Structure 1
Amino acid sequence: MDMEQIKKELGAGAVFEIGEKNEAFAKYFTGQSYLKMLTTEGVSVGNVTFEPGCRNWWHIHHKGGQILLCTGGRGYYQAEGEEPIEMTPGSIISIDPEICHYHGAAPDSWFSHLAIEVPAEGASNEWVRPVTDEEYAKVK
């Protein structure tokens, strides 16, 4: 699928460049994602686009946390031990530090969000494990 078709699938919220295939973090995703870093100075902001069914691994942001702003399509955020939360354009998820979680597209929809890394001294990201098909099947 070319970038114009992906933008069409995402709808009116696809205002940021989709970017290239997310090769740098591909080993931490199930399915294909795309990444366009919008800024890396001060506050790191990336536009992450997921093909249908794509999700990242369970992961933890140590010290700084993360904010997700859904800009297109439909996807999910889930904190470990909690129910998945559906994300649609305009959804905002604020993730406190030390919360194990994942996010990704719905099985039948493209999904994009801005991923904002909350700055903190000594902040880091820990990739814990893949989201199993059984865990992912719980999204509705």
Structure 2
Amino acid sequence: MKIVHGRPDGAKTEERGATFDGTVWADPVLPTTDGVTINAIYFTPGARTHWHRHERGQILQVTTGSGWVCSEGEAPQRLQPGDVVWVPPGERHWHGASSDCAMAHVAISLGTTQWDTPVSEDDYLAAHQQ
């Protein structure tokens, strides 16, 4: 058993960069333990991940705001507070805030993450046309 008691003294919110577009902040909830990583992620309006996939899948729980999630080859899906998303192992996808509203979610990543290319502006904006 491992207990993680809130934010350790001196822990800082981390600004994410290389695998995200826009301003994204992350707070660790559970550092990688047995291949599981949990982070609380805050996306400013228009911010999003790059395309990526997870070795054993990912669970997203939206806590505030609104945004999008999209699996390769499918239409983007709107996200609202309380929504929970299961992304199966190896499925290429992206997620992030809508263009006019921030979004926060808890991300539970299982296994390693393989990062890919940025989401094109056209693909991102197409989500807003639905």
TM-score interval w.r.t. the shorter chain? 0.7 to 0.9
- Contact 2:29–2:38 under 8 Å retained in 1: yes
Deviations 1:58-97 (A, max 9, x none): 00112x1100000000010000000111111000100001
- Contact 1:21–1:32 under 8 Å retained in 2: no
Structure 1 residue 21: Cα displacement? 4.1
Would you say 1:130 and 2:123 are equivalent positions? no
1:63-102 alignment, distance < 5 Å: 64-102=56-94
- Contact 2:14–2:27 under 8 Å retained in 1: no
CA–CA separation in structure 1 for the residues paired with 2:104 and 2:13: 13
- Count of residue correspondences: 117
| Aligned match for 1:52, one of 45, 64, 69 | 45
Structure 1's consecutive aligned runs of 4 or more residues displaced over 3 angstroms after TM superposition are none
CA–CA separation in structure 2 for the residues paired with 1:125 and 1:71: 22
CA–CA separation in structure 2 for the residues paired with 1:45 and 1:98: 18
Would you say 1:32 and 2:23 are equivalent positions? yes
* Structure with higher strand content: 2
* Structure with higher helix content: 1
RMSD of aligned C-alpha atoms?
A: 1.7
CA–CA separation in structure 1 for the residues paired with 2:51 and 2:15: 17
Q: Which amino acid aligns with 2:62?
A: C
CA–CA separation in structure 1 for the residues paired with 2:40 and 2:26: 6
CA–CA separation in structure 1 for the residues paired with 2:14 and 2:106: 16
Structure 1 residue 39: Cα displacement? 1.0
Q: Which amino acid aligns with 1:73?
A: G
Q: Which amino acid aligns with 1:60?
A: R
- Of all paired residues, the percent bearing the same amino acid is 31
| Aligned match for 1:22, one of 15, 21, 30 | 15
- Contact 2:63–2:104 under 8 Å retained in 1: yes
User: TM-score by structure 2 length?
Assistant: 0.84
Task: Look up the match of 2:109.
Answer: 117
- Contact 1:74–1:89 under 8 Å retained in 2: yes
Gaps of 5+ in 2: 1-5
Q: Which amino acid aligns with 1:127?
A: W
